[in-house]
Amino acid sequence: MVVGDIATGTEVLVIGAGPGGYVAAIRAAQQGLDTTLVEKDAYGGTCLNYGCIPSKALITSANLAHEAGNAEEMGIHADPVVDMSQLRDWKDGVVDQLTGGVEKLCKANGVNLVEGTARFKDENAVRIAHGGEGQGSETIEFEHCIIATGSRVIQIPGFDFADEQVWSSRDALAADTVPDRLVVVGGGYIGMELSTTFAKLDSDVTVVEMLDDILPGYESDVARVVRKRAEDLGIDMNFGEGASGWREDDDSIIVTTETEDGEEAEYRADKVLVAVGRSPVTDTMELENAGLEADERGFLEVDDFRRTDVEHIYAVGDVVADTPMLAHVASKEGIVAAEHIAGEPVAFDSQAVPAAVFTDPEIGTVGMTEDEAEEMGFTTAVGQMPFRASGRALTTGHADGFVRIVADEDSGFILGAQIVGPEASELVAEVALAIEMGATLEDVASTIHTHPTLAEAVMEAAENALGQAIHTLNR
């Protein structure tokens, strides 16, 4: 029997239960608003289920195995064996714990949960198609709506993810075996994270990148540290080449590439991982029925409150134009949207948005680079502390990289930081807080930091910008 279309109403409808959507729904419910959250797949979205969390679990495992097997200098001799099936079970257990927690948190805060796919009927209602035969549909009318449908991996011509030899990042994270040979198309942060991870799991990795270096968007000296480490791991880098296709050859595949000049190259592999970016999911909701139109790339324009052109419809996360595709950005936007709907005096401030890349070594950035600050008219004071001068870094066996802090020379206000090295993803939080609070170089330099820690490098970089560093030469 097919259940007919029924109609219900809610004050706030949130479409998508990823880091932007579920956070928005919880905050809206905390504000006393009747809130409904619609999700078609899994609570937690791509991040918790197929991206951020499973990738970090895999990275942690690969790092542990690699370090245990390469610690002879410390007197440790081991030959670890990685059981990928057991590793996948552990990883999936972590994911299940977190996604189950999201669902419980939503329910505990009074959020109404609805499973299905939402499409706009008009600017005040959506139709929810429930999955499964005979499940029917329902209409939900709303006063306010928050679109948080996230993004999907970009598929390039000639590489169909339906083919078992072609991996998306999601496929790579679900693998229960390690390919002997892996070609990675794309040297961005996803491609480099997974390249280093599979190299540490003893895969023979080749990276193909159209540009002339890895990690576009990051400064060249930051990318250089990661590239050198990747090469030390045996990863073969090939720049200026675009992947043009692949074919089967006996029990393996041949991946073909082409340069701008038409020169072709071939790489033998067992799997090819395509990691060339992500695109927003806005083409499934029939936006036109609500009076909305995405731009040519599929993004939605929003204001400082995350409102779209239709004032009572908001958008957060990866569907938003001109903001980075980062889970923590989505969550902050979700909070802003929910609180604005509730009448709170809020706006989205992107001045101090940290970003992290979980390569080896890690990268953490926030705020402006030196060039960006000077383009904005600042006279800069820049300080840098190499990790090779950090006692704690040396005791971990990971001393590549540096901490760099950029500040306004006249006022001392900290404008940004670039960190590449051990635990950079954690260290960048101190500088993000400093920027958000309007702290100066003197504030960070005069704060006593625990010894011996990696965080001392942040203090030393601030001291270096002031010309007062003790453990590195002043500029």
Choose the final residue of a domain: 275, 305, 324: 275
- Chosen domain end from 240, 255, 275: 275
φ/ψ bin of 75: left (φ > 0), alpha (ψ from -120 to 50), beta (otherwise): left
With a cut of 90, say whether residue 4 has pLDDT above it. no
Check whether 255 has a pLDDT greater than 90. yes
CATH number at residue 336: 3.50.50.60
Q: Are 40 and 173 in contact (CB under 8 A)?
A: no
Examine the domain organization and report whether 59 and 139 are in the same domain: yes
Does residue 143 carry a pLDDT above 90?
yes
pLDDT-derived band at 5 (thresholds 50, 70, 90) equals low
Percent share of the chain, pLDDT over 70: 98
- Tally the domains of the chain: 3
Q: Specify whether 297 is located in the same domain as 428.
A: no
In the predicted structure, residue 327 carries a pLDDT above the cut 90: yes
pLDDT on residue 166: 98
**Residue 133's pLDDT is what?**
56
Are residues 117 and 87 part of one domain? yes
Instruction: Write the pLDDT tens digit of every residue in 365-407.
Output: 999 999 999 999 999 999 999 999 999 999 999 999 999 999 9
Domain of residue 440, CATH code:
3.30.390.30
Q: How far apart are CA 347 and CA 379, in angstroms?
A: 29
pLDDT at 1: 30
Q: Please tell me the distance from the alpha carbon of residue 223 to that of residue 214, in angstroms, as a whole number.
A: 6
Model pLDDT for residues 14-59, shown as the tens digit of each residue? 999 999 999 999 999 999 999 999 999 999 999 999 999 999 999 9
Q: How confident is the model at residue 349 (pLDDT cuts 50, 70, 90)?
A: confident
Neighbours of 288 (CB within 10 A): 10
Say whether both 196 and 327 belong to one domain: no
Residues 237-249 have a mean pLDDT of 97
- Tell me which residue range forms the domain holding 199: 164-275
120 and 39 together in one domain? yes
Verify that 64 and 35 share a domain, yes or no. yes
290 inside domain:
yes
Task: Round to whole Å and give the CA distance between 238 and 210.
Answer: 8
Q: What is the pLDDT of residue 184?
A: 98
d(CA 385, CA 464): 7
Share of the chain above pLDDT 90, in %: 96
Confidence check: pLDDT of 2 > 60:
no
Q: Is residue 138 part of a domain?
A: yes
Q: What pLDDT is attached to residue 132? A: 60
Distance linking the first and last C-alpha atoms of the chain: 77
pLDDT 10s digits, 436-459: 999 999 999 999 999 999 999 999
| Domain shared by 289 and 147, yes or no | yes
Assess whether 128 and 183 both reside in one domain: no
pLDDT at 474 over 90: yes
CB atoms within 10 A of CB 104: 11
pLDDT of residue 350: 77
Query: Do 245 and 284 have their domain in common?
Result: no
Average per-residue pLDDT for the chain:
96
Same domain, 9 and 139: yes
Q: Which of 340, 449, 451, 471 is catalytic?
A: 451
270 shares a domain with 144: no
On whether both 58 and 120 belong to a single domain, the answer is yes
Q: Is 451 a catalytic residue?
A: yes
Q: 346 in a domain, yes or no?
A: no
pLDDT at 348: 95
